Amino acid sequence: MSNTYTIPVGPLHVALEEPMYFQVDVKGEVVQSIEMFAGHSHRGMESLALERNFFQNIVLTERVCSLCSNNHPLTYCMALENIAQIQVPERGQYLRVIADEVKRIASHMFNVGIGLHVIGFNTLFMHAMEVRETMQDLKESIWGNRMDISANTIGGAKYDLDDELEAYLRKTLEELKKPVEEFKHMYATHPQVKARTKDVGILPPEAAIEYGLGGPVARGSGIDNDVRKETPYAAYDKLKFNVVLGEGCDVRSRALVRLGEIFESISLIEQCLDQMPKGPICCDPLPDIPAGQAVARSEAPRGELIYYMRTNGTMYPERLKWRVPTYVNWEGLRVMLDKAKVADIALIVNSIDPCLSCTER
């Protein structure tokens, strides 16, 4: 075939789960060029945020996205605390880290599982979901909900761990280690997974920097970039952890970075449980929120999440704006999808862990 033809990938595509539309020009089975369209599910959330007071906005931001639903309210609260100079009690900071890392484990496991489903490896996909289910049960037991765990509030955390819950958390994490280790081993050694993911969707480190990518996508190309390490928030400055880096620059490398981060997350939660002091979990009473503006950053499972907020002294924000990791990461798809095979499109798109509900809010 000499001329190219266009195939639509999305906006309703079985492998993409979310409404993202790629117009892909292919020649035979090779991608020639790609055009991306977004905006199919715009909800006007930035405008909605202006009609709600600060406390209502915690609930609103939690519903921006389901998989990083802890990072949105966390970063929102941090921005507000920056404006009002609120000091979060130490215990509250540790509790925030615990909620954050539990969500991260579940999110990473989900993404790696979907990647396996895309290459038709349904057995390992089921296995991944089963491992993730442990975290879902954990969330339901501690926070009472499987996705929106509502762990943050302005000035601290909304939940506390008693001895029984702490023991339960420790036990669950201990039980999680072996299945995750097994799963990582299977992912890393299965020849077929290797054949499908190695050297697919190459993202050179230079391109990652040029496009300003973040999160596991950049770390999979060896870019040492983790907000938790660079500008520690919550209790991350008191905890020891490694930034997991990959060298393959491909789909496989990004998945292995995510799997590696699960172990770091488990270790982080255990350190939190060891070091966490007794005391208040939340700043009480809260001071008045003055007029001002602030920016807060955090490391969501998909990369760097930034919140900008401006207040005017009332109970309502004057402007609330967030920049989500997927928004920067999907520009990297132009590099990764160049000269890719049609068979790999869904796999590569999945490897940036796209979250459209964050991006089109």
Kindly list the residues in this chain that would bind other proteins in the complex (CB under 8 A): 5-8, 13-15, 26, 28-29, 116-124, 126-127, 130, 190, 192-193, 195-196, 341-346
Torsion of CA 108, 62, 100, 13, to 10 degrees: 0
Least distance to other proteins, CB of residue 322, Å: 30
77 annotated as ligand-binding: no
Cα 269 to the chain's mean position, in Å?
Answer: 17
264 contacts 242 by C-beta, under 8 angstroms = yes
Q: Where are the beta strands (DSSP E) in 98-174?
A: 152-153, 156-157
Q: Would you say 28 or 204 has its CB closer to other proteins? A: 28
CB 132 → other proteins: shortest distance, Å?
14
213 Cβ contact list (under 8 Å, min separation 6)? 203, 223, 303, 328, 329, 331, 332
Q: Are 151 and 157 in contact (CB under 8 A)?
A: yes
Shortest Cβ distance from residue 343 to other proteins (Å)? 5
Shortest Å, Cβ 356 to other proteins: 17
Which residues are bridge partners to 322 per DSSP? 307
Nearer to other proteins, 151 or 193 (CB): 193
In the bound state with other proteins, the residue whose beta carbon lies nearer, of 89 and 113, is 113
Q: In the complex with other proteins, which residue's Cβ is closer, 61 or 350?
A: 350
Is 355 annotated in some ligand binding site? yes
Query: Which DSSP string do the residues of 248-268 spell out, in sequence order?
Result: S-SHHHHHHHHHHHHHHHHHH
Judge whether 26 and 32 are in contact, CB under 8 Å: yes
**Minimum distance from CB of 135 to other proteins (Å)?**
17
90 appears as a binding residue in the annotation: no
Q: Which two tokens stand for residue 123?
A: 């057995």
Q: Cα(153)–Cα(164) distance, rounded to whole angstroms? A: 23
Paired tokens of 124: 């390992």
Read off the tokens for 194.
């290797």
Q: Which two tokens stand for residue 174?
A: 């201990």
Q: Which is nearer to other proteins, 130 or 174 (CB)?
A: 130
Strands 291-300 and 30-37 turn out to be unpaired
- Please check if 68 is assigned to a binding site: yes
Q: Kindly state the smallest distance separating residue 192's Cβ from other proteins, in Å.
A: 5
Using the minimum distance from each CB to other proteins, give the nearer residue, 5 or 55: 5
Give the residue ranges of the annotated binding site for Mg(2+).
46
Give the residue ranges of the annotated binding site for Fe cation.
68, 358
